[in-house]
Amino acid sequence: MKEKFFATTPIYYVNDVPHIGHAYTTTAADILARYNRLKGRRVFFLTGTDEHGQKVEKAAMEKGRTPKGHADIMVENFKNLWIKLNITNDAFIRTTDTEHKKVVHELLERLWGKGEIEKRSYSGWYCTPDERFWMEKDLVGGNCPDCGRPVDHIEEENYFFLMSRYQERLIKYIEDNPYYILPETRRNEVLGFLRTQPLGDLCISRPRHRLSWGIPLPFDENFVTYVWFDALVNYYSATRYLAPSVHGSRFTVHGDWWPADHHIVGKDILTTHAVYWSTMLMALGMPLPENIFAHGWWTVDGKKMSKSLGNVVDPNEMIDEYGVDAFRYFLFREVPFGLDGDFSEDTMIKRINTDLANDFGNLASRIFAMINKYFKGEIPQPDEEEKEIKNIAEGILKKIDDSLHCLSFHKALDEIWELVSCTNKYIDLSAPWALAKDPGKHARLMTVLYSAAEALRFLALYLNPFMPDATQRLWEQLGLEGELSKINLDKEARWGRLKPGTKIKKGEALFPRIEKVGSRKGLEAGSKD
């Protein structure tokens, strides 16, 4: 079994406040991190902020702040949101960290020393908001093909990473490693363009006179490092100064934590990861990550989220309104990870009421109420083992494992919901309220309510990575002690570990029904800007 697990989120730009897109990626990584901890692995879960470059410099100027001063204020919005979302990141990297800058220097020096970087004069079209060069042929109607905004013609000297050398190697690598880029449709897209278009070299510098907010090139002070080169290095640099130490040392060339198991990113930044980062690592002679997963985008009520439309969803508000667990659940239950999805509060309310309040929450309330009523709040002694429900409950673990291996969160939740449904059916068919009326059926009543409570214990275990608070409450209501997030899943996911005689505890409903229609005010309140 793999002993350690290293997952990353993109590092977020500090030019803006976080929205559901950011919450989505970070929660995905959190679910994986939590699950892997339950599986007994040593986990390094990394997130952070991308603080250099033109976007940040411009946003800071507009606020009359220095870029670092602006970053220091904005970074708090992310850190606070992660606390509120119950995110268990092990480290938070900022690209303005001195140690990160040192590693960027080290890698640049290595590439320069190996002849992988060259100085050239260059003329091309530059999209300032995207911080990207384009060739004449790429432009659409004279504008940036990505964002549609006007581009500037620029002629200057710059440093280039000789990325084109790696085109064939990269194609072969992606072909040989089907797990490297997921989902498969995205992998095919990347392969499609790599096979049909020549890969250019990557401009990795910006002249200082045009942009000063960046890491100076170690071999030429007149230039700063291109923000994407600096940003991608975070995944590795963090292993050198932020990761928990493994085997006593983390300061080796490849780091004990490198390579990562998953880089989770949005589909818009897949190319930078699949192409730039992969070829940078190849040139450095470093191992590539196990997997890069590109998830889809959320629209809101059918429209792209944008400040001008005023429809940007503030995760803080969603958590305040619906609770952190319900919000986390909805994001991963509603839409398969990898596809685009539409966010609407009405749909979220329906999901919460149907899945959480009715199916799951009511199930728990009914079981607890009957244990209270018929057994004075003590888990009864079963008379026999209920094979069917036991097999379903135990069998789900392997299915969750397989689903999460390919980041199919919705599939894992589907599997877990099988247990919710079958426990509901089990109660309905066994009708404990009828058994209770017949003294001759007392043993059967004990078996049924024991098995139902044991099924609840499995639900608490399996759902913990998705809904950490509610499952901890369920755990405590079952009379169980300790922190659920610290248990060992393989040990606990065995039928019969719930001890008869355990006193259950009275508690609030796990998920209260939501009666009203949501009233979102938009993203302004709460965050520092």
Nearer to ligand MSP by Cβ, of 339 and 509: the residue is 339
Residue 50 phi, psi dihedral angles, 5° rounding = -100, 110
Nearest-approach distance from CB 39 to ligand MSP, in angstroms:
26
Q: How far, in Å, CA of 22 to CA of 147, rounded? A: 20
Question: Minimum Å distance from CB 499 to ligand MSP?
Answer: 44
- Closest contact distance (angstroms) between CB of 241 and ligand MSP is 17
Tokens 């709460």 belong to: 526
Query: What single DSSP character describes residue 163?
Result: G
Distance in angstroms (rounded) separating the CA atoms of residues 522 and 526: 11
Q: Amino acid identity, residue 111?
A: L
Least distance between ligand MSP and beta carbon 41 (Å): 24
CB of 382 to ligand MSP, least distance (A): 46
**How far is the C-alpha of 87 from the C-alpha of 72, rounded, in Å?**
20
Residue of 509, 396, 374, 397 whose CA lies nearest to 450: 374
How many chain residues bind ligand MSP (CB under 6 A)? 19
- Phi then psi for residue 431, to 5 deg, are 45, 70
Give me the least distance between CB of 357 and ligand MSP, in Å please: 27
Give min distance, CB of 408 to ligand MSP, in A: 17
The answer to whether 374 contacts ligand MSP (rule: CB under 6 A) is no
CA 173 remoteness from chain centre: 25
Asked if residues 223 and 206 have their Cβ atoms less than 8 Å apart, the reply is: yes
Q: State the nearest-atom distance from the C-beta of 50 to ligand MSP, in Å.
A: 3
Min. distance of Cβ 32 from ligand MSP in angstroms? 15
CB of 45 to ligand MSP, least distance (A): 15
Q: Which one, 74 or 514, has the nearer CB to ligand MSP?
A: 74
C-beta closer to ligand MSP: residue 93 or 117: 93
Residue 336, both tokens: 């398969």
Query: Residues 250-289: x/- map of binding to ligand MSP (CB under 6 A)?
Result: ---------------xx-xx--------------------
Q: In angstroms, rounded to a whole number, what is the distance separating the alpha carbons of residues 465 and 38?
A: 9
Enumerate residues 49-108 that contact ligand MSP by CB under 6 A. Answer: 50
For residue 63, the surrounding DSSP H or E stretch is: none
Here the tokens at position 451 are 């098995």
Q: Does the protein bind ligand MSP through residue 297 (CB under 6 A)?
A: yes
Choose among 334, 329, 323: nearest CA to 459: 329
The window from 73-81, 85-93, 229-237, 318-326 that contacts ligand MSP (CB under 6 A) reads: 229-237
CB of 390 to ligand MSP, least distance (A): 39
Q: Which of residues 382-441 bind ligand MSP (CB under 6 A)?
A: none
Shortest distance in whole angstroms from residue 11 CB to ligand MSP:
5
- 232 counts as binding ligand MSP under rule CB under 6 A: yes
Using the minimum distance from each CB to ligand MSP, give the nearer residue, 56 or 493: 56
Residue 167 CA from chain centroid, whole number: 29
109-143: burial string, b at 16+ Cβ within 10 Å, e else: ebbbeeebbeeeebebbbbbebebbbeeeeeeeee
The nearer residue to ligand MSP, 100 or 457, going by C-beta atoms, is 100
Q: Min. distance of Cβ 182 from ligand MSP in angstroms?
A: 15
With respect to ligand MSP, which residue has the nearer C-beta, 230 or 415?
A: 230
**Residue bearing tokens 């697990």:** 5
- Residue number of the CB closest to ligand MSP reads 266
Secondary structure class of 152 (helix, strand, coil): strand
Q: Which stretch binds ligand MSP (CB under 6 A): 56-64, 158-166, 230-238, 483-491?
A: 230-238
Q: Which value, in Å, is the radius of gyration of the alpha carbons in the chain?
A: 26
CA 427 to chain centre: 36
Partnered with residue 45 across adjacent β-strands are: 7
CB closer to ligand MSP out of 282 and 498: 282
Instruction: Measure the CA–CA gap between 240 and 305, rounded to whole angstroms.
Output: 36
Among 231, 275, 352, 498, binds ligand MSP (CB under 6 A): 231
List the interface residues with ligand MSP, window 300-329 (CB under 6 A): 305
Binding mask 5-44 for ligand MSP (x = CB under 6 A): -----xxxx-------xx-xx-------------------
Question: Is residue 349 a contact partner of residue 327, using CB atoms and an 8 Å limit?
Answer: no
- Using alpha carbons, select from 379, 366, 365 the residue that is nearest to residue 479: 379
Classified as helix, coil or strand, 287 is coil
Using CB under 6 A as the criterion, what x/- string covers residues 179-218 for binding ligand MSP? Answer: ----------------------------------------
Q: What is the DSSP letter of 354?
A: I
CA separation, residue 213 to residues 14, 47, 208, 274 (Å): 13, 22, 8, 26
Query: In terms of CB distance, is 225 or 234 closer to ligand MSP?
Result: 234
Q: Which CB sits closer to ligand MSP, 22 or 94?
A: 22
Report how far residue 151's alpha carbon sits from residue 205's, in angstroms, rounded to the nearest whole number. Answer: 18
Q: Which is nearer to ligand MSP, 227 or 448 (CB)?
A: 227
Contacting positions for ligand MSP (CB under 6 A): 10-13, 21-22, 24-25, 50, 231-232, 234, 265-266, 268-269, 297-298, 305
